[in-house]
Amino acid sequence: KQSVLQEYEILKALHHERIMALHEAYITPRYLVLICENCAGKEILYSIVDRFRYSEDDVVSYVLQLLQGLEYLHGRRIVHLDIKPDNVVVSGTNALK
């Protein structure tokens, strides 16, 4: 329970365009319910599969956006221990969260 509350406190303090925002949270006797930003789009793996070609600029944009989010976290001494395609969403404008 303590680790979940610690993660909540960390998420609550994060404010960056590449990181999903936490709006509210509720604690019940059995659960911690997090109300997060709606990140409309597809997980990055599905987004990549749906397109046939990518330019070098497209790839650079994706990598840069991922690194912007990580730089923000690392600047606050936070390490993301679960970076994987399921945790990256691509919007219709190719913006990553």
Statement: residue 1 has pLDDT above 80 = no
- Tens of pLDDT, residue by residue over 42-64, are 999 988 888 878 889 999 999 99
Smallest CA-to-CA distance from 85 within 77, 71, 97, 94 is with 97
At a CB cut-off of 8 Å and minimum separation 6, what does 6 contact? none
Mean pLDDT of 8-34: 90
Statement: residue 84 has pLDDT above 90 = yes
Statement: residue 4 has pLDDT above 90 = no
Statement: residue 29 has pLDDT above 90 = no
Q: What is the pLDDT of residue 69?
A: 97
What CATH code is assigned to 2-90?
3.30.200
The pTM assigned to this predicted structure is 0.82
